Amino acid sequence: KQEVTQIPAALSVPEGENLVLNCSFTDSAIYNLQWFRQDPGKGLTSLLLIQSSQREQTSGRLNASLDKSSGRSTLYIAASQPGDSATYLCAVPLSGSRLTFGEGTQLTVNP
């Protein structure tokens, strides 16, 4: 059974700081991993999808890495801004592409 864990559960940083969010999964036989952002009371916004053949994927100030062999992915956020405050979720697909999610990291960026 695939289990996804995210550490830390919550993170508070001052504006401008670079930060790393961690995601680990127990079954390394994945074909991709997706990072999402969720604002309070809202749906999920896809940030990055990284294929198993890739090691990194970048979008603006965001960079996601994937190490299948160790069962880990990281989301790096550069020069954090208060608008980055949200919950960040990682997810891996199982059969039929249904997603298994971690519990998320709640990020607060203080001005």
**Interface residues toward another protein, by CB under 8 A:** 4, 31-32, 34, 36, 41-46, 49, 51, 89, 91, 93, 95-104
Cβ closer to another protein: 77 or 89?
A: 89
Write out the two tokens for 27: 């079954």
CB of 32 to another protein, least distance (A): 5
DSSP 12-29: EEETT--EEEEEEES---
Give dist(CA 72, CA 37) in Å, integer. 18
Cβ closer to another protein: 11 or 49?
A: 49
CB of 79 to another protein, least distance (A): 26
CB of 111 to another protein, least distance (A): 25
Give dist(CA 92, CA 98) in Å, integer. 8
Give dist(CA 38, CA 45) in Å, integer. 6
